[in-house]
A = this chain, B = another copy of it.
Amino acid sequence: MNFQERKKKILAALDDTESLSVFELAEILEASPATIRRDLGDIAEEGLLIRTHGGAMKMENPVLTGFSEKSGVNNPTKEQIAEKAAAYVQDGDIIFLDCGSTVFQMCRFLKKKSIRVITNSLPILAELIDVPSIQINLIGGELNKARKAIHGDKAVQHINGYHAHKAFIGVDGLSAENGLTAHSEHESTITTAFIRNAGQVMLLCDASKIGKDSYVKFAELSAIHTLITDADAARTAALRQNGLNVEIAG
Known: A141-B140, A143-B135. A129 touches B63 (CB 8 A): yes
Decide if A52 is an interface residue (CB 8 Å cutoff).
yes
Count of chain A residues with a beta carbon within 8 Å of a chain B beta carbon:
45
A interface majority secondary structure: mixed
Q: A70-B60, A161-B154 are in contact. Are A4 and B52 (CB under 8 A)?
A: yes
CB pair B150–A2 under 8 Å, yes or no, is no
Closest CB in chain B relative to A10 CB, distance in Å: 15
Could you say which residues of chain B place their CB within 8 Å of the CB of A53?
A: 2-3
> Chain B residues near A127 (CB, 8 Å)?
61, 63
Contact A126 B52 (CB under 8 A): no
Q: Say yes or no for A216: interface residue by CB 8 A criterion.
A: no
Of listed A57, A130, A145, residue having the most chain B CB within 10 A: A145
| Contact of A129 (CB < 8 Å), options: B3, B55, B143 | B143
Closest chain B CB from A123 CB (angstroms)? 8
- In the complex, A76 has a CB within 8 A of chain B: no
Interface residues of A in 9-52 (CB under 8 A from B): 18-19, 50, 52
Q: Out of B64, B141, B148, which one reaches A67, CB within 8 Å? A: B64
Contacts beyond the supplied A61-B67, A64-B125: 4 A-B pairs with Cβ under 8 Å:
A2-B55, A61-B127, A63-B127, A129-B148
Q: Verify A122–B60 contact, CB threshold 8 A.
A: no
Task: Give 8 CB contacts A-B under 8 Å.
Answer: A4-B19, A4-B50, A5-B18, A60-B67, A63-B130, A64-B126, A129-B143, A138-B141
Chain A contact residues, CB within 8 Å of chain B: 2-5, 8, 18-19, 50, 52-55, 57, 60-61, 63-64, 66-70, 122-123, 125-127, 129-130, 135-143, 145, 148, 150, 154-155, 158, 161
Complex Cα spacing A136 to B235, Å: 42
Q: Assess whether B129 is in contact with A136, with CB atoms less than 8 Å apart.
A: no
A143 CA to B125 CA, complexed, in Å: 9
Contact A158 B135 (CB under 8 A): no
CB proximity of A63 to chain B, nearest CB, Å: 4
Q: What's the Cα separation between A64 and B65 when bound, in Å?
A: 13
